[in-house]
Amino acid sequence: MVAASPNPIRNEKMLAVDLPVIDLSAPRSEVSKLIVKACEDYGFFKVTNHGVGQETISRMEEESLAFFSKTASEKHRAGPANPFGYGCKNIGFNGDMGEVEYLLFNTNKASIAQRSKTISEEPAKFSSAVSDYIEAVKELACELLELIAEGLWVPDTSVFSRLIRDVESDSVFRLNHYPHHHHHLKATSSSPTSYNSNRVGFGEHTDPQILTLLRSNDVGGLQISPQDGLWVPVPSDPAAFWINVGDVLQAMTNGRFVSVRHRALTNSFKSRMSMAYFGGPPLNACLRALPEVVTPEHPLLFKPFTWAEFKKTTHSLRLGDTRLNLFRISSSHEERVSSMN
């Protein structure tokens, strides 16, 4: 377990990798194959030509920046996050800390409208920007999940997306703001104004939901960890979305996809703001591996669970804990299941 800490571990290795970039305007069969491969290799990829309108993105960014530019006392009127609303420094329920302030929303329009009254002097304008953005990225998330189902040769191509489309979907939307830190500026022989971006804004973790759609302003800081102790910096691209597999999708693909561990570091020069849509299932949804991905060569890895059960587990653990391990089937159980097939 790695909790959010002021500095990354000293023996970590950084590696520059060309992460998958998928053009959604390419032929559908090609796109679905590329997405599946990216989910298997990294649990992470970038999409371009995604169809989310620039006006929708710009409105959301404008409203977000206006809120985070307020004084601390003004922002705290929208909190404390319990779990929705404004939060600062505290992450989750168990003492994790980071150099981040955020707004967290339930994706229900009525809830957003009510919450906006404590966030903006023009709550209708703010609420409209948030709701329109969520609707646009939800449609993109569903399209990606249907492409994934096609790439896995699952007959029911809505098997993942209908969990998000459900009116009881427990999806959430989060705006993260990472203030810059002037006192980390330092000169080096190669660059007199280089910076030491080694403060953890949001600590190492996986996302518990199905799929995350993330975009940020033109400031780096996001990193993924494809293996222990190895970190890959993710280049910023405000025109694209970065997609990462969540714990639920790893379980439903029987471990074929990986729920990628990631974190965000702060930047000494500029503040970073990101918008994350977490596509989640209804609380009562029973989540299990699809039959198409369970074979004698790849026996069942995880016990079925409801999202409510998994969410409760998430809230009981620290940020960096591996939640899925608590639902992993023992080897003896695997042998019994295999012998029955």
Q: What is the 3-state secondary structure (H, E, C) of 23-75?
A: ECCCCHHHHHHHHHHHHHHCCEEEEECCCCCHHHHHHHHHHHHHHHCCCHHHH
* Segment among 79-88, 178-187, 189-198 with least mean pLDDT: 189-198
| Model pLDDT, residue 96 | 77
CB distance 177 to 68 below 8 Å? yes
Q: What is the mean pLDDT of residues 31-47?
A: 97
Measured distance CA(35)–CA(243) in Å, rounded = 10
For 135, 149, 177, 213, 235, the CA distances from 270, given in Å and listed in that order, are 29, 39, 11, 23, 15
Measured distance CA(119)–CA(123) in Å, rounded = 7
272 is catalytic: yes
* Segment among 186-195, 278-287, 290-299 with least mean pLDDT: 186-195
Residue found under tokens 């699809």: 290
Based on DSSP, count helices (H) and strands (E) in the chain, helices before strands. 9, 15
Rg (CA), the chain: 20
CB-neighbour burial class of residue 233 (10 A; exposed 0-12, middle 13-18, buried 19+)? middle
According to DSSP, residue 218 is labeled S
At residue 87, what are phi and psi to the nearest 5 degrees?
-135, 155
For 155, 215, 218, 273, the CA distances from 234, given in Å and listed in that order, are 34, 11, 12, 14
Is the confidence at residue 318, as pLDDT, over 70?
yes
Is the confidence at residue 187, as pLDDT, over 70?
no
At 320 the three-state DSSP class reads: coil
* Segment among 157-161, 192-196, 208-212, 273-277 with least mean pLDDT: 192-196
Of 179, 173, 181, 183, give the one whose Cα is nearest residue 75. Answer: 179
Q: What is the mean pLDDT of residues 284-297?
A: 95
Q: What is the mean pLDDT of residues 236-248?
A: 95
| Model pLDDT, residue 11 | 66
| Model pLDDT, residue 336 | 40
| Model pLDDT, residue 207 | 95
Is the confidence at residue 184, as pLDDT, over 50?
no
pLDDT tens digit string along 82-102? Answer: 889 999 988 877 777 888 899
Is the confidence at residue 269, as pLDDT, over 70?
yes
| Core vs surface per residue 14-41: b (16+ CB within 10 A) or e | eeeeebbebebeeeeeebbebbbebbee
At residue 243, what are phi and psi to the nearest 5 degrees?
-120, 130
**How many C-alpha atoms does 47 have within 13 Å on its Cβ side?**
26
pLDDT tens digit string along 197-229? Answer: 468 888 889 999 999 999 999 888 899 998 888
Is the confidence at residue 78, as pLDDT, over 70?
yes
Measured distance CA(248)–CA(280) in Å, rounded = 9
Is the confidence at residue 332, as pLDDT, over 60?
no
With pLDDT > 90 as the criterion, what percentage of the chain qualifies? 71
* Segment among 138-152, 183-197, 200-214, 253-267 with least mean pLDDT: 183-197
| Model pLDDT, residue 198 | 63
| Model pLDDT, residue 109 | 94
Is the confidence at residue 335, as pLDDT, over 50?
no
| Model pLDDT, residue 175 | 96
Q: Give the active site residue among 115, 256, 261, 272.
A: 272
